[in-house]
Amino acid sequence: MTDVRGDRLDGALLRLIGVTLLGGIMGILDSTMVTVAAETLSTEFDRSLSVISWATTGYLLALTVTIPITGWAVRRFGVKRLWLFGLVLFMGASLASALSWSVESLIVFRVVQGVGAGILDPLVLVILARAAGPSRAGRVMGTMGVVLSLGPVLGPVLGGLLLDSSGWRSMFFINIPIGVIALLLALRVIPADAPEERKAGLPLDIAGFALMAPGLAALVLALTEAGERGAFAAPTVLVPLVLGAGLLAAYVLRALRLRATEPLIDVRLFAGRSFAASVTVQGLVGVGTFAGLFVLPLYYQIVHGHTAAAAGLLVAPLGLGSALAMPIAGRLSDKLGARTLVQGGALIAAAGAFALTLVGAEGAETRSALAAFAIGLGLGGVGAPTMGSLYRTLPQEKVPQGSSVLYNLNQLGGALGVACAALILAASGTGTGTGAADGAGGFQNAAWFLVAVGVVILAAGPLLPGRVQEIPPAPADSGAETLPTGSERSGMSASGPSSCPGAERA
């Protein structure tokens, strides 16, 4: 292995990636794993499915509300302290969820669990971006992307296995041994924050938080409701949608005028073409990924008559394709930049989605599985270079805020993708008693939506940075097996992207 700034990922950085993803995987899995237990929980607590769904909705809303404040907390308390706190909070809430005695208690504990996930999930990006530096951002994000790609797919599969073998409480108990191991390893592996990285007296933008957090939560709630109802015209969708948009607009206006206090998220970041394009494209990746994860299981269940467990396994090619593409695309992006790779990935994803439009009720599962694999391959080829591009050009002190924006837009993109796909299926009459042949038409229409997502990403590709400048070789005595700390860890100065080694050409 070479030095930490060399071409390869050294042993110390690989250990950090492994330990960080071990802690972060719990929140990623739990966001989808519990959905398979809805019917079981409804029987267990003798409550309707609409009430039980709040165990998942409450988790997602708490996660969404917490993410914006994480960027401030990183600068106030430091990455390592916050990571350890998030792990303990998530484990405690998991144990409490497993011991729930009513649906109300389960919802409350799931909300607390969502707060823990809202701390851990964006910190995964912050820890790895700081450790990698600009020269290897693509490779590290590609490696991390394997877990991010497989998590949403494996969540329902793992949840179903635990549910069938050990009951619904095991879906929460499993987090305890994983969390304990992650906590012990984090104490040893995650570098301590340098004193200059923490701002002990940094005030929280309370008014900004009061606008942004409920605004984001309202949008997620509106899109979730739209996905469940298959319509945007319902009051339960329009009211939170308008409220959320209004609160976020008020936050933007206030943040632009703010002078005395640092805003929770600096909206001026969007003035940079690279940042705006990167987070937008990553949001579109969320749209395409979650729309596919929503549509494909229903296709296998309604058109081919498979069980939910079998349909979940048949969706695996989408996650597998993304997991295979991300490390390769990430590594290539450190040399080639993001633009060409993203456009190539968008073409592959659009081609895979187009193949789905040709699969009808008589189509073999093999054809749809191959099309899903191509979609995942293409979106994976977009995701890793896009995230790498963001962290190569983002000033070090803005990494926590950039991570919060990236994760929030990906969450919103996922909710939007599900809502749009559900609306398309509802408008086509799919799932309302239509036969397999008629039902296939609705899924073909949804596949055209995925084609459109790929085309939009393709059009946005030229806005991303191009080739990466050559990075000077590291000194021979630079120390191969130690992770740099403090300002050395970032490889980026506070002056901004222009001072970064390996910055990308526009």
**Does residue 483 carry a pLDDT above 70?**
no
d(CA 383, CA 152): 15
**Does residue 405 carry a pLDDT above 50?**
yes
Residue 489: pLDDT band with limits 50, 70, 90? very low
Q: Average pLDDT of 267-276?
A: 83
Give the model's pLDDT for residue 86: 92
C-alpha pair distances (Å), 91 with each of 23, 181, 185: 10, 11, 15
Give the model's pLDDT for residue 110: 92
Please say whether the beta carbons of 256 and 267 come within 8 A: yes
Residue 254: pLDDT band with limits 50, 70, 90? confident
Q: Tell me the CATH class for 269-469+484-498.
A: mainly alpha
Q: Average pLDDT of 385-395?
A: 81
What residues are paired with 243 via a beta bridge?
Answer: none
Under CATH, what is the fold of the domain 1-198? Growth Hormone; Chain: A; (1.20.1250)
Secondary structure of residue 226 in the 3-state scheme: helix
**Does residue 89 carry a pLDDT above 50?**
yes
User: How far from each other are the two terminal CA atoms of the chain, in whole angstroms?
Assistant: 32
Tokens of 325: 């593409």
Give the model's pLDDT for residue 452: 93
Secondary structure of residue 494 in the 3-state scheme: coil
Q: Average pLDDT of 232-258?
A: 87
Half-sphere exposure of 351 (CA within 13 A, CB side): 11
Least confident of 73-87, 159-173, 422-436: 422-436
Secondary structure of residue 504 in the 3-state scheme: strand
Give the CA angle between residues 35, 37, 40 to the nearest 5°.
145
Would you list the domain boundaries of the chain? 1-198, 205-263, 269-469+484-498
**Does residue 194 carry a pLDDT above 70?**
no
- 1-198 and 269-469+484-498 have identical folds: yes
**Does residue 471 carry a pLDDT above 70?**
no
Residues 6+ positions from 341 with CB-CB distance below 8 Å:
329, 332, 333, 381, 382, 385
Secondary structure of residue 307 in the 3-state scheme: coil
Kindly write down the DSSP assignment for every residue of 53-98, as one continuous string: THHHHHHHHHHHHHHHHHHHHHHHH-HHHHHHHHHHHHHHHHHHHH
**Does residue 51 carry a pLDDT above 50?**
yes
Give the model's pLDDT for residue 480: 35
Give the model's pLDDT for residue 36: 73
Give the model's pLDDT for residue 286: 87
Residue 201: pLDDT band with limits 50, 70, 90? low
Give the model's pLDDT for residue 145: 73
**Does residue 1 carry a pLDDT above 80?**
no
d(CA 288, CA 91): 31
d(CA 457, CA 382): 8
Give the model's pLDDT for residue 246: 93
Half-sphere exposure of 227 (CA within 13 A, CB side): 23
Tell me the per-residue pLDDT of 407-437, one tens digit each, with 9 for 90 and over.
888 888 888 888 888 888 877 766 544 444 4
Most confident region among 120-129, 270-279, 348-357, 413-422 by mean pLDDT: 348-357
The torsion angles phi and psi of 504, rounded to 5 degrees, stand at: -90, 145
Give the model's pLDDT for residue 269: 82
Least confident of 101-115, 269-283, 313-327, 490-504: 490-504
Tell me the per-residue pLDDT of 52-77, one tens digit each, with 9 for 90 and over.
878 888 888 888 888 888 888 888 88
**Does residue 284 carry a pLDDT above 70?**
yes
**Does residue 187 carry a pLDDT above 50?**
yes
d(CA 33, CA 119): 19
Please say whether the beta carbons of 322 and 383 come within 8 A: yes
Please say whether the beta carbons of 139 and 132 come within 8 A: yes
Residue percentage of the chain with pLDDT more than 70: 84
Residues 6+ positions from 336 with CB-CB distance below 8 Å:
467, 468
Angle between helices 79-98 and 54-77 (to 10 degrees): 160
**Does residue 6 carry a pLDDT above 60?**
no
Which is more confidently placed, 347 or 442? 347
Maximum Cα interatomic distance, the chain, rounded to a whole number of Å? 70
Which is more confidently placed, 209 or 311? 209
Which is more confidently placed, 405 or 362? 405
Give the model's pLDDT for residue 488: 38
Task: Provide the mean pLDDT of the chain.
Answer: 78
Residue 200: pLDDT band with limits 50, 70, 90? low
Q: Average pLDDT of 338-355?
A: 91
Q: Average pLDDT of 159-187?
A: 87
